[in-house]
Structure formats: C-alpha cells, structure tokens
C-alpha cells in the first residue's frame, strides 16, 4: 500500500468547454442543468452525431509572437489559459519560485493531429506538406505542452502524458511526485483536446458514438458524444495557500485486459480507486461526491456503476457530467477535476444529465438531478483505452481524514 501523502494546494484552476469559457460559465450550466451538446457541425462531412464544441476558436488567433504554433488545439489552450486569471497566477508562481522550478505537465489524447490531418488534405502537387504546414512542432503529440511552455515562459520539467482518456488526470500524480522529491516548487497541470476527424471517425468506426446526445448510465444509452475542452490547475505546497482546496490523493492502475474495452469486473478501476483512497488516507464513507468517468458506452458504465455500488455507501453521491460537456477525451481528467473542485467550493452535486430511465445496475449513490449539499471530499474517475485507469481525490481546506 502507498504511504498517505502530504496534501497539495490547488491554488488556481480553470476550464473551457462546450459549457463556455471559464469556471463561471461551467458553474452556471451545471446549476441550470444545461447541456453544451449540439448537433455535429464540425468538419466538411459531419457524421450524424452530437458534439461538445467550444465557440469562438475560429476567430481566436494566437498572439503574434506565438503565431507559429497556430492550430485549433493551441488556440483552445490559449483561450483556456486566459480564463479565471490563470495566466496571472502562473506568472506569480514563476516570479516566486523561478521559471525552472515550475513544471508543466499536460495531458492530451491527440494534441494537434487536426493540423496534420489538414496538411494531408492539402498536400502539394509533389505530395509534400504545403509550406504553411511545414511546422514540425505542431505535428507531434508534444505540440500542446511545447506551445504552453513557450506561452508561459516555463523552464522546468515539461511532459506530455498521452494515455487516451486518463491523460489529464495522471498529470496530477506526476506533479505530486516531483514536488515531493523537491525537483520543483509548483506545477501547472491540465490538458487540452480538440475536435478532429481522427476521433470523430475513429470512435464512429468502433461503433461507440451515439447518434443523439449521450446518456450516461441510462438503461438505453447508446454511445458517447465527443467534446473538446481545455483545463488547467496550479499545484503548490499547502503553506503557499493554506485556504485553497487540496489534492488529497491519486491512484493509477492498469486493467491488463483489452485495448478498447474495460476489464469486465473493473479490476484496474478498483485498484486505482483503492490507491487514491490509501494515499489520501480516506475511508470510502468520507467521500461526498464522485465525478464518474461515465462515458455512456455500454461497457464502461456497466463496470463503473457496479464498482460504485460495491465500494461506497448511499451517502456518497455520484454522477457523470459527460451529458453536459461530451467526452472531452484527453481533457476529461482535468475538466472533471474542476467539476469535483467546484462541487467542494460551491456545495453542488451536479446531476447526471441526459438520463430518462436509469440503468437498474445503478445504486442509490447516483445523483440523477442536482443536489445542494456540503461536500468535503470529491473524487474524479478517468479511464482510458489500453486499460489505463486514474482516480483523483480532492478535499476542502481544513478537512482532516
């Protein structure tokens, strides 16, 4: 079993998704139980499905000094960094600790593959990339983190985690290890993924995309709705911000089962949950809210609902918020971490939007509609292809496990 970890302060956080730009827009939509999903209007040959699209990216150009990084994913990253005063908080941390003592650890599933797709649609007569797309730095999985490092002028450890849909949850774990070892004094964590043909047509080929808005944990659910999002958090030691909400623990584990379907008994998910509870020093009954992975795929929701049912009492409330945002893939971990943080900071259990008939496998823990209640501890589950599982635990400042 891991040791109980020293909690870290989440001194700033932000999210931009189909719910809008920044945390206020997200909270408004959650409180109003308003979905950000819309009929697919992305790409030249849109599939018949619903998507979670961020408005305004087409006209949100990057600052001139960063123009060589231009692509949809980096535009969304820049838009996200400019919400909730996040840039100022990073600049303050950089000034306080030094640029080389702040790590940048970001998750993404496909980074700016949309730009590579575009280059292939517009190949030169000689079969090569057109001149304006001959920008090597945007045709790699590290495009996002390298861009954000340049935009924030950070010089510490800089890493892309790309484990599909758990990517931007696992960055919290990397940050905690580096802080604990004294390699850094602060970390910018987060993730960005944008709509692109690779994921729309890819998940469609796997027959995992719903023709309508996704319905997580509904008895008649029929697949995911793909979304795009950017989210970031700043992690520091508690003495830097004793009143900030805290990262209490994290867990990571592998299913060792199948590349694209979860372990039938949720083995890896349960190992990740137990790892997170052990690091946080938590008993399951102390958990007030769990933001579930809840993709609305048949298998994920079946396995995850069973895990919630056997691991938690009914006083622990649980919901998926993918009916609000869609499945934002590599950004899901950070977006849903901010939902868990907002649950603590605003005493809000968001309802599991999109359900007409709850799947009977779901227990009394499920919050089908919004609930206003005091939440001290919130978890967030993120599971990815390849059987890659992560669980994060957050707590109100002053909460003692």
Partner 1 sequence: MSDLRVHVEGVGLWSPQLADFAALRSVLAGETPAPAPVRPAAATLPANERRRAPASVLLAIEVAGQAVAMSGRDAATLACVFASAHGDQPITDYMCATLARAPAELSPIRFHNSVHNAAVGYWTIATGCHAPSTAIAAQAASFGAGLLEAASQVLADERPVLLVCSDSEGSGPLTEVTGSNQPFGCALVLAPAASAATLARLDLRLVPPQPDDALPEPLAAWRRTNPSASSLALLALLAGNAGSCRLAAAPALGLQIAMEKVA
Name which of residues 30 to 69 contact partner 1 (CB under 8 A): 45
Rounded to 10 degrees, what is the CA torsion of 311, 317, 319, 321? -130
Task: Identify the active-site residue in 13, 21, 263, 293.
Answer: 293
CB of 364 to partner 1, least distance (A): 29
Only one of the segments 128-136, 240-248, 306-314, 344-352 lies at the binding site for partner 1 (rule: CB under 8 A); that segment is 128-136
Q: Tell me whether residue 108 or residue 321 sits nearer to partner 1 (CB atom).
A: 108
Q: Is 25 exposed, middle or buried (0-12, 13-18, 19+ CB in 10 A)?
A: middle
256 contacts partner 1 (rule: CB under 8 A)? yes
CB of 352 to partner 1, least distance (A): 27
Cα 195 from Cα 1, distance rounded (Å): 39
End-to-end CA distance of the chain: 17
Name which of residues 309 to 368 contact partner 1 (CB under 8 A): none
Name which of residues 278 to 297 contact partner 1 (CB under 8 A): none
CB 283 within 8 A of CB 313: no
Shortest CA distance to 329 belongs to which of 216, 220, 194? Answer: 194
Quick one: which of 69, 86, 129, 289 contacts partner 1 (CB under 8 A)?
129
Q: Is 21 a catalytic residue?
A: no
Residues 6+ apart with CB under 8 A from 122: 130, 133
Shortest CA distance to 90 belongs to which of 14, 35, 197, 144? Answer: 14
145 contacts partner 1 (rule: CB under 8 A)? yes
Q: Is 374 a catalytic residue?
A: no
Shortest CA distance to 213 belongs to which of 222, 201, 225, 199? Answer: 225
Residue 150: CB atoms within 10 Å: 15
CB of 183 to partner 1, least distance (A): 6
131 contacts partner 1 (rule: CB under 8 A)? no
Q: Tell me whether residue 23 or residue 171 sits nearer to partner 1 (CB atom).
A: 171
With CB under 8 A, what is the number of residues at the site for partner 1?
A: 74
CB 210 within 8 A of CB 222: yes
CB of 162 to partner 1, least distance (A): 4
Q: Tell me whether residue 9 or residue 276 sits nearer to partner 1 (CB atom).
A: 276
Cα 134 from Cα 146, distance rounded (Å): 17
- Residue 146-185 contact track with partner 1, rule CB under 8 A, x = bound: x--x----xxxxxxxxxxx-----x--xx-xxx-xxxx--
CB of 243 to partner 1, least distance (A): 27
4 contacts partner 1 (rule: CB under 8 A)? no
CB of 286 to partner 1, least distance (A): 23
CB of 39 to partner 1, least distance (A): 18
- Token readout for 30 is 């959650």
Task: Identify the active-site residue in 49, 71, 165, 362.
Answer: 165
Cα 331 from Cα 109, distance rounded (Å): 8
Q: Tell me whether residue 60 or residue 66 sits nearer to partner 1 (CB atom).
A: 66
Q: Tell me whether residue 96 or residue 177 sits nearer to partner 1 (CB atom).
A: 177
H or E element that contains 251: strand 246-254
Task: Identify the active-site residue in 21, 142, 263, 327.
Answer: 327
198 contacts partner 1 (rule: CB under 8 A)? yes
Cα 303 from Cα 267, distance rounded (Å): 9
CB of 174 to partner 1, least distance (A): 6
Cα 374 to chain centroid, rounded: 23
268 contacts partner 1 (rule: CB under 8 A)? yes
**DSSP H helical segments within 98-190, as ranges?**
113-121, 143-152, 167-180
Cα 334 from Cα 10, distance rounded (Å): 12
97 contacts partner 1 (rule: CB under 8 A)? no
141 contacts partner 1 (rule: CB under 8 A)? yes
Q: Tell me whether residue 146 or residue 339 sits nearer to partner 1 (CB atom).
A: 146
Helix axes 298-311, 267-280, angle to 10 degrees: 40
Q: Tell me whether residue 27 or residue 161 sits nearer to partner 1 (CB atom).
A: 161
Q: Is 314 exposed, middle or buried (0-12, 13-18, 19+ CB in 10 A)?
A: exposed
Task: Specify the length of the chain in residues.
Answer: 401
Q: Is 327 a catalytic residue?
A: yes
91 contacts partner 1 (rule: CB under 8 A)? no
Name which of residues 380 to 399 contact partner 1 (CB under 8 A): 384-388
Active centre residues (catalytic): 165, 293, 327
């Amino acid at each position: 079993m891991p040791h109980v970890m020293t909690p870290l302060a989440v001194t700033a956080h932000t999210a931009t998704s189909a719910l809008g730009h920044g945390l206020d827009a997200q909270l408004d939509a959650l409180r109003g139980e308003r979905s950000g999903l819309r009929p697919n209007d992305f790409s030249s040959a849109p599939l018949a499905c619903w998507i979670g699209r961020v408005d305004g990216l087409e006209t949100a150009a990057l600052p001139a000094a960063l123009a060589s990084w231009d692509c949809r994913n980096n535009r969304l990253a820049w838009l996200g960094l400019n919400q909730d005063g996040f840039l100022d908080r990073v600049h303050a941390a950089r000034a306080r600790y030094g640029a080389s003592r702040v790590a940048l650890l970001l998750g993404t599933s496909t980074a700016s593959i949309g730009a590579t797709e575009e280059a292939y649609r517009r190949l030169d007569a000689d079969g090569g990339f057109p001149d304006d797309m001959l920008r090597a730095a945007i045709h790699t999985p590290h495009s996002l983190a390298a861009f954000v490092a340049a935009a924030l002028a950070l010089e510490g450890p800089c890493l892309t985690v790309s484990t599909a849909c758990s990517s931007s949850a696992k960055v919290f774990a990397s940050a905690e290890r580096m802080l604990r070892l004294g390699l850094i004094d602060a970390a910018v964590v987060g993730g960005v993924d944008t709509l692109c043909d690779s994921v729309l047509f890819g998940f469609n080929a796997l027959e995992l995309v719903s023709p309508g808005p996704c319905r997580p944990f509904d008895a008649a659910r029929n697949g995911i709705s793909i979304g795009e999002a950017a989210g970031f958090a700043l992690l520091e030691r508690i003495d830097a911000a004793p009143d900030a909400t805290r990262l209490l623990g994290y867990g990571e584990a592998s299913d060792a089962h199948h590349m694209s379907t979860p372990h039938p008994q949720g083995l890896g998910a349960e190992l990740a949950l137990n790892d997170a509870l052990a690091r946080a020093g938590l008993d399951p009954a102390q958990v007030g809210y769990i933001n579930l992975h809840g993709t609305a795929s048949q298998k994920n929701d079946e396995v995850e609902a069973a895990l919630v049912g056997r691991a938690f009492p009914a006083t622990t409330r649980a919901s998926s918020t993918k009916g609000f945002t869609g499945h934002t893939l590599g950004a899901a971990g950070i977006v849903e971490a901010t939902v868990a943080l907002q649950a603590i900071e605003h005493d809000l259990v968001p309802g599991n939007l999109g359900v007409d008939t709850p799947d009977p496998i779901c227990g009394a823990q499920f919050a089908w509609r919004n609930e206003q209640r005091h939440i001290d501890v919130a978890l967030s589950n993120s599971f990815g292809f390849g059987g890659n599982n992560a669980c994060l635990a957050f707590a109100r400042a002053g909460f003692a496990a």
